[in-house]
Amino acid sequence: MVNITFPDGNIKSFEDSPTGLDVAKSISEGFARNCIAMELNSDLVDLNTKIDRDSQIRLITPKDPEALKILRHSASHVMAQAILHLYKDAKLTIGPAVEDGFYYDIDMEPVSKDDFEKIEAEMKKAIKAKHPFKREVVSKSQALEFYKNEPYKLEMISELEEGTISFYKHDDFTDLCRGPHLPHTGFIKAIKLMKVSGAYWRADQTKAQLQRIYGTAFFTKKELDEHLYFLEEAKKRNHRKIGIALDLFSFHDEAPGMPFFHAKGMVMWNALLDYWKEEHRTAGYVETKTPIMLNRSLWKKSGHWENYREHMYTAKVDEDEYAIKPMNCPGGMILYGMKPHSYKDLPIRAAEIGLVHRHELSGVLSGLFRVRAFHQDDAHIFMTLRQIEDEILGVLKLVERIYSTFGLGFHLELSTRPEKSIGTHEEWETTTQGLTSALDTYGQDYKLNEGDGAFYGPKIDVHIKDALGRTWQCGTIQLDMSLPERFNLSYIDKNNEKRRPIMIHRVIYGSIERFFGILIEHFAGKFPLWMAPVQTVVLPINDDLVTYANDIKIKLEKAGVRTEVDHRTESLNKKVRDAQLTNIPLILTIGNKEKESGSLSVRTLDGNVRYGVSHEEFLTRILSHINKRNLDLEIFKA
């Protein structure tokens, strides 16, 4: 007798050892046809796995979060089979599922997108045939014998410990694999090969260069179509292309991974920082600034020299070794330690927009998203144990205010003590409880990541969601018990005893360069009026009106409105079109009628035009709109 416990606590008994499929069929035939795998006592396994003892199981269907990964891993096997059919000399390495699909690294002749159609056609034959995926367990010696002509598989197997090794077979194709897999290939309803690139075996430039072929797969064609539409939208919003088109920033070989911000980009940059500083002053922060280069002794004290040196840029100055800072924290410790503190001083909220440098490999650099030089909107909050909950709650409310200004939603994740950590059990209990209480008081659902905290303390990560539904981890709130100890920081409590402060590290923008790139893609280059590099453009319909247009520009700029005049000898329609292509929010058309009446014709980016607007009304409305940092362009709404 085998007792099966389901997630809802119900128990069902079976006379013999059932498979997952048997259990699914006991619920209903229709349900069983929709199952693809199961979670057996916390392990994901194939649906045809026998259950020979009392167990807890969860049957996996396409709606479950694990389903796509299983589907895509199975699709990578189908692609590898198709390639072996078409390219007889190909040698396989590995083929995992990844975030948006799967890939397989293969030692083979070069292929291009032109070859994808025939590979997909071969894959579809296997999918149509509904070949079952079958797991086979073999010894290490058997695996070595099976792959005696496959150098990459031999290398992987030789590194495995003695014991059983699993193969997966469908049709005439067998691969070394842990699984699990779909019941059969027919579950793969929609596939598409996406791109091909080069990849070194085991990311080692001294080893063979392979063909990395990427694909994606879904349970329905509709899902695939939606994904491809999403990718096209993302391509249109590519911040690198928009950045060049709008003259915001650029990259140059003279400083790889270090962006150059142009005049219009700096207008946006300063708008972001002005807003940040305004919010932080209101929230009780002071602003500090620490040097960009600091002596090696400081980095040894902080632990970075031992644990992070390969990512740091170093230089010798006066026969002593220095490092350009990869983070702002150690400088903040020096500032706190400059004078004695009382418990009455705490909390101290010290913020810094610090320029940091980290050596990233050239292959991972990606526009503003991954750079070597960037600014962090750091803040370090020094406090007592009793202040943890209130200070965390204060940061969460600040996070909400700032992200909502950009129309960004977010979710929270709490990470607790990892296996390797410092500090006492009591300290971790206190700090984790402080974060948990603050989150509970804040009232937003959060995800718990057990054991995923920093070695020095628990943390809350903030993941924002952009206009395309993509998530980005930008903000983080970390409790630190290590640096105050390393730097011997203290305060005097009400009993006149020396105590160690608890410290919060937190960022909201995170890397400001990265956040800048996210905003470009979030708004698709059509920025809210308060952020726009050029807020209005004045278009005189003929040369006689250029002087009058410049007078309007001067008046608007004196009021703080960023304005340009387009005095080119082009048609009005072309000027309007060019202004729209560069996403200038408000287009002011000036003709003789407008000059005589002292009015403006105002066109917004969506094509709506309002005629006969007085200069005073326009200025009043636009300044109100900018000061409120509204997201829309409805400056004439009631």
* Of the candidates 401, 403, 554, 505, the residue with the CA atom closest to the CA atom of residue 464: 403
- Alpha-carbon gap, residue 334 to 486, rounded angstroms: 11
Q: Is the dihedral of CA 155, 156, 160, 166 positive or negative?
A: negative
Record the tokens describing residue 206, joined without a space.
């001294």
Q: Which residues contact 88 (CB under 8 A, 6 or more apart)?
A: none
Confidence of residue 186 (pLDDT cuts 50, 70, 90): very high
Task: Please state, for a pLDDT cut of 70, what percent of the chain lies above it.
Answer: 100
What's domain 536-627's superfamily in CATH?
Anticodon-binding domain (3.40.50.800)
**Mean pLDDT value across the chain:** 94
Does an H or E element contain 27, and which? helix 20-27
Nearest-angstrom CA–CA distance, 307 and 330: 14
Check whether 273 has a pLDDT greater than 60: yes
Task: Give 96's contacts (C-beta < 8 A, 6+ positions apart).
Answer: 73, 76, 102, 103
What are the helix (H) ranges across 253-347? 263-282, 296-302, 304-307, 329-336
pLDDT for res 638 = 54
pLDDT digits (tens, 9 = 90+) for 301-323: 988 898 888 999 999 999 899 99
Cβ(402)–Cβ(395) below 8 Å: no
CATH architecture of 2-60: Roll (3.10)
Enumerate the active-site residues. Answer: 329, 358, 376, 378, 380, 459, 505
Mean pLDDT within 413-438? 89
| Whole-angstrom distance, CA of residue 274 vs CA of residue 629 | 12
- Answer whether CATH 3.90.550.10 is correct for domain 249-290+325-523: no
| Low-confidence winner among 334-343, 476-485, 528-537, 552-561 (lowest mean pLDDT) | 476-485
Residue 116 pLDDT > 80: yes
CA dist 244 to 150, 175, 273, 582, Å? 47, 45, 22, 11
pLDDT computed for residue 303 by the predictor: 86
CB-facing half-sphere around the CA of 574: CA atoms within 13 A: 6
Average pLDDT over residues 168-189: 96
Q: Is residue 412's pLDDT more than 80? A: yes
Mean pLDDT (whole number) for 457-463: 94
Q: What is the pTM of this model?
A: 0.82
Residue carrying structure tokens 């287009």: 587
- Whole-number Å distance between alpha carbons of 379 and 288: 9
pLDDT tens-digit readout, 1-54 = 899 999 999 999 998 899 999 999 999 999 999 999 999 999 999 999 999 999
- Round to whole Å and give the CA distance between 86 and 89: 9
Say whether 170 sits in a helix, a strand or coil.
strand
488 backbone dihedrals φ, ψ, rounded to 5°? 55, 45
Position 210 scores a pLDDT of 96
Residue 427: the pLDDT is 84
Residue with tokens 């040196």: 309
**What is the rounded CA–CA span in Å between residue 435 and residue 479?**
9
Q: Which two tokens stand for residue 429?
A: 């209990």
Q: Which two tokens stand for residue 191?
A: 């596939």
- Enclosing H/E stretch for 432: helix 425-442
Burial of 171 (0-12, 13-18, 19+ CB in 10 A): middle
In the prediction, which pLDDT does 421 show? Answer: 81
pLDDT tens sequence across 551-588:
999 999 999 999 999 999 899 999 999 999 999 999 99
150 three-class SS: coil
Question: What tokens does 485 get?
Answer: 């100890």
What's the Cα-to-Cα distance from 378 to each of 29, 350, 409, rounded to whole Å?
56, 8, 21
pLDDT average, residue stretch 286-295 = 96
Q: pLDDT for 331-382, tens place per residue?
A: 999 999 999 999 999 999 999 999 999 999 888 889 999 999 999 999 999 9
Say if 71-224 and 536-627 have the same CATH topology.
Answer: no
State percent of the chain over pLDDT 90: 89
Phi-psi region of 524 (alpha: psi -120 to 50; beta: other; left: phi over 0): left
Residue listed under structure tokens 């939606």: 226
Instruction: State which CATH number among 3.30.565.10, 3.50.50.60, 3.30.365.10, 3.30.980.10 fits the domain covering 71-224.
Output: 3.30.980.10
Domain ranges of the chain: 2-60, 71-224, 249-290+325-523, 292-324, 536-627
